Structure 1
């Protein structure tokens, strides 16, 4: 057996207030680790956004450079128009990159602030995960059972206890991917995440996509 991966997700609780979890998924099940998750769940999305921002900036610069080059080979009004267009594209590209970077940074800082408040609540309630006594420091867990035994305040979900997993794809009205887990005992688990890794990781546990 081996570790498959992890994803940050929100889980429904009896109180109605969502609990952020890190789901560490293995071949034999997964482990719910209460932790901060807002910023972590957006890491992959933020990375894609940053790449798109850089790509847009590069395209804008390329077009602006092309306009300026064309202007150098022409005379009169067309040259002036091309220089103006190239200059405006250059300024617009820089402005868009700065604006999008600022918005991304603002969203990240807001997420980290909320995550910090969650961690303080977990600590005050005595539910903050910690390494169990005797747990190895440098050894990597290979099963969910093993990983769960190395940490306190976690919940183990065994693959043998899972009946079905239904994954609902994001929609315009709900950007989250939702995974509903039906256990053999009749209990239900519900996870939500903007990271589509959630459905991919649970694909080995009888997933049905909706």
Structure 2
């Protein structure tokens, strides 16, 4: 009876491990992942990450994360603090501009999170990411168009009740107001 209980527990444990492995494999097949030492050296990366970065594992393993960054960022105090925070167990997430080994720019929506060992020490940093370059480029195009319109036309924005939310410099100059004089006021002041 004792052997049967151990055998059942072992089978249950194997099923759980198998299920966890298949879950990890499914995630790893669809989400870009790269692993670093707590100081930022590349340990491993999956095929999704390598495809997004257009490089091979041999190109990046053993090299520091800064290989993916502009030199100005990599030399900054903020960047050093970023890695100190990660090594101390503080996760980081956001939209990050990175560089492929070819120098081509891309944008990643990413989460860097510390992975701890059985004693609670950070033993690696895992990053999961999505390539959002197309979205960032579209936003930049829209921003450029908006800025061009704002430079060449008078523009004002109202809330649904007719109160001024914002006006550009062209509008304010044309109408003879300063933004702070009209912001929050109702449209009727122009009538």
Q: Same fold by TM (over 0.5)?
A: no
**Bigger radius of gyration:** 2
Tell me the TM-score normalised to structure 2 length: 0.29
Choose between structure 1 and 2 for higher RCO, CA contacts under 8 A separated by at least 6 residues. Answer: 1
TM-score (norm 1): 0.27
